[in-house]
Amino acid sequence: MVIVLKNEATHQQVKELVNWLEGYNVKTNLVEGVHSRIIGLIGDTVHMDIDTIEANECVEAVRRVQEPYKNANRKFHPDDTVLDIFGRKLGGDRLQVIAGPCSVESEKQIIETAIACKEAGATMLRGGAFKPRTSPYSFQGLRKEGIELLLKAKQETGLPIVTEVMSLEHLYMFSEVDVIQVGARNMQNFELLKALGRCDKPVLLKRGLSSTLEELLMSAEYIMSEGNSKVILCERGIRTFEPMTRNTLDISAIPLLKHKSHLPVVVDPSHATGISKLIEPMSLAAVAAGCDALEIEVHCDPKHALSDGAQQLTPDAFRKVMEKIKALAEFVGKPVDNAE
């Protein structure tokens, strides 16, 4: 349930209203937006009488929220959520570009790639230290050492780092990581989501391979319901009957998620397509559709990459793609961030 407050409602009136509502054993969430102030109610509200609430002198309107996601719902938080990630604003009026290798492979590889990505205009660095691979015989990542190398690359370039956590038991290693990624395969690892909800770091939540948008939003809700509202939604392609691409990038997910939720939306064209040639057109499509960030795989030597070689861009190719992204981002009024 959402309660829209009258503009003239005083602080004291709102406080009294909140106390009264909490008597019904529901959680209240007061959001002071740019254009309105609302109270979101979470819990069992079926027995609450809308007319009685509406009769309160500081209430403008009351609406029931049908969707099962509440904290992630735009009705609960009409303004866009803007996250501050080491000085970069994600979800605001700037486009962020997260670039870097699929996996962190060595100090030389991650530092070289990070420098090249930064020079091309990337605003954050990605790199997998823990790798969710389909085969247990494939490269599994450098794990703790991978995170240490990412931190070195951050020191070298000033780029905040994004890296994936696969298991609860590794979470303690992520204390200096700027954004914790939850991979597509873990989107419904609810215990992991709950634990991430209890930490104070931005979480980049990737859509599961066969998950609906509502399931993605419910997974965001798991994190938010534990107290962490710093959630970033990521469209990374879904499984369809089409085998020519690794997955099918769901462009419509971008405006839909932005409409249904206030959370920032990131698009990963690399895992969506699996084909390096498609990164440019898919990135441009995602920017045109209103994404807040792109996550693109870049490797200094993709042919010898230990994972996802076919979809990673060389630094040269990435530079060219970035030029197009910058031009389009400028055109749509959401220029690529250039914060130092």
Residues within the interface to Mn ion (CB under 5 A): 102, 308
Q: Which is nearer to ligand PEP, 21 or 114 (CB)?
A: 114
**Beta carbon of residue 41, minimum distance to ligand PEP (angstroms, whole number):** 34
What is the full DSSP assignment across 100-141?
E-SB---HHHHHHHHHHHHHHT-SEEE-BSS---SSTTS---
Maximum pairwise Cα distance, the chain: 68
- In degrees rounded to 5, what are phi and psi of residue 313? -90, 150
Q: Which is nearer to Mn ion, 62 or 162 (CB)?
A: 162
Residue type, 255: P
Q: Which is nearer to ligand PEP, 62 or 153 (CB)?
A: 153
DSSP state of 289: T
> Which entry of Mn ion, ligand PEP, none binds 183, CB below 5 to 8 A by partner kind?
ligand PEP
Residues that bind ligand PEP (CB under 6 A): 102, 128, 132, 164, 183-185, 206, 236, 268, 271
- Residue 272 to residue 277: CA distance in whole angstroms: 12
> Which entry of ligand PEP, Mn ion, none binds 293, CB below 5 to 8 A by partner kind?
none
Q: Which is nearer to ligand PEP, 166 or 263 (CB)?
A: 166
As given in the structure block, the two tokens for residue 105 are: 């492979």
Q: Which is nearer to ligand PEP, 165 or 284 (CB)?
A: 165
> Which entry of Mn ion, ligand PEP, none binds 164, CB below 5 to 8 A by partner kind?
ligand PEP
- The DSSP bridge pattern shows strands 83-85 and 88-90 to be antiparallel
**Beta carbon of residue 1, minimum distance to ligand PEP (angstroms, whole number):** 34
- CA-closest candidate to residue 292, choices 323, 319, 253: 253
**Beta carbon of residue 166, minimum distance to ligand PEP (angstroms, whole number):** 9
**Beta carbon of residue 128, minimum distance to Mn ion (angstroms, whole number):** 7
> Which entry of Mn ion, ligand PEP, none binds 236, CB below 5 to 8 A by partner kind?
ligand PEP
- Residue 52 to residue 237: CA distance in whole angstroms: 46
